[in-house]
Structure 1
Amino acid sequence: MTGLTVGEFSRVSHLSIKTLRHYHEVGLLAPAEIAPDTGYRYYSLDQVPTAQVIRRLRNLEMPVADVKAVLSAEDVTTRNELISAHLARLETRLAQAQTAIESLRELRRGYVLRRLIRRVLTTLWRDDPTRTLSDLPMELIEHTLGHFRQLRDPYEVRTVLLDEERKFGVLLQRGRQVLSRSRFTGTLSDEDYRYLHDTHGLPRDLVVYLNTEQS
C-alpha cells in the first residue's frame, strides 16, 4: 500500500485520528485505500486540501451534513449559498448572544443601582425618617442623566426611584417584623443571616442596619 497512514495524515491535516475515524464512518472523508488484510487506512496527499476545508468549516460549527453538501456542491454558486446560509445562522446566534449579554449587564446595573438607592435611603432616614426621594429636584435628575449621557426621560427615572423607595419601605417593614421574633434576638449566626436572605430577601447589611435601628 502507498500513501499516508492515518497517523501521518492526522499530522498534516491537523485532524485527530479519532476525528478522521468519525469522518470515515459518516461518509465525510473516506480513506483513499484500505488494506484488505489488515484494515489499515491510507490517505493520499490529494486529500489534504479537502481535509483542511472540512476542518475550517467544522471550526465554524457547520454541521457535518452541511459540510458534506458543500463538498458535493456541483457549482460555486450552490457552494457559496450553503456557506452564506451558515454564516447567517452564526450571525443570528451572535446577535442573540449579544442581546443576552446586554440583558445580564442591565440586570447587574439594576442590582447595583438598587443597592445604591437603598444605601442612600438608609442614610437619609437615619437623619430624618420623613425625608423621601421625591424631595430630589428634577433639575438634579436631569443634570445627572446629562452628565452620564443617558437619553432617559427624567420623569420616568423619578418614577423608578420612587418605586424602588416604596419597595424598600415594604422590605424594611417586613424585616422589622421578622427580626422581632425571639429567634433573632441576640447575636445572629451565619446560618441566621443565610436564612434571612434566602427566605425573606433580607441581605446581611440590611439586617445589621435594622438591628442597629432597634437598639
Structure 2
Amino acid sequence: MTQGWSESRLRAALAERAGPSSDYDLDNAPLPDAPTRPAGVLAAFHEDDGRLVLTKRASGLRHHPGQIALPGGKVDPGDDDEIAAALREAREEVGLDPAQVDLIGTLAPHRTVTGFVMTPVIGIIRGPFVPIAEPGEVDEVFTLPFAHVADPAQYRVERRRWRGGWRSYHVAPWGPYYLWGATARIMLGLARRLNR
C-alpha cells in the first residue's frame, strides 16, 4: 500500500540503484542498432504535497505531439549534461526557475522508440510555483498527486498497433490525463522503488 508524500522516502528510493529501461522491454524486443540522442527530463515534486509537474505537449510538435510528458528535451550543444538540459527545458516549457529546484538525484536512463536516451532527473520544487506554458510547445501544465504516481497499482499494460506490429506500454490514467509510454514507465520504476 502506498504511503503519502515524504521527501525522505523519495530520497531513500533514489539511493537504490536500478538498471536502464526502454520502450522495448515489455515486448522483449532487441534494442535497435541505431544512433540515439541524449535527453534529460525533470520529475519535479512540490515540497508541500509531492504533486508532480507534467505537461501536455503541443499537437504540432515533431516528437510526441499531444502526449503527457515530464518537462525536458534533448541535450543541446550549450548544455553541460542531461541534468542541465532538463533544467533548461523546464524553465522554457513551464517557467520553473532552476534556483527553485533542489536536485536529489537521477534515475537510470530510458531509451525511447523515437531514438532518445532520456535521463530522468528528480528534484523538489521549493517555494511557490505558478507554471507558465510555453506557447507552441506546451498546451497545458498540470500536476498529478503523489499518491497516484507513487502507487504501482495505478499502472497497467496496454497494447496498440504501431509501425506494422504490436507494441506494449505502461499507462497510469488520471482523470482526463492519459499518462503512458516512456513517462509512465519512468514513473512506474520510481513507484516500485518507493514501495520496497
What TM-score do you get using the length of structure 2 for normalisation?
0.23
Structure 1 or 2: larger strand share?
2
Quick check: which has more Rg, 1 or 2? 1
What TM-score do you get using the length of structure 1 for normalisation?
0.22
Structure 1 or 2: larger helix share?
1
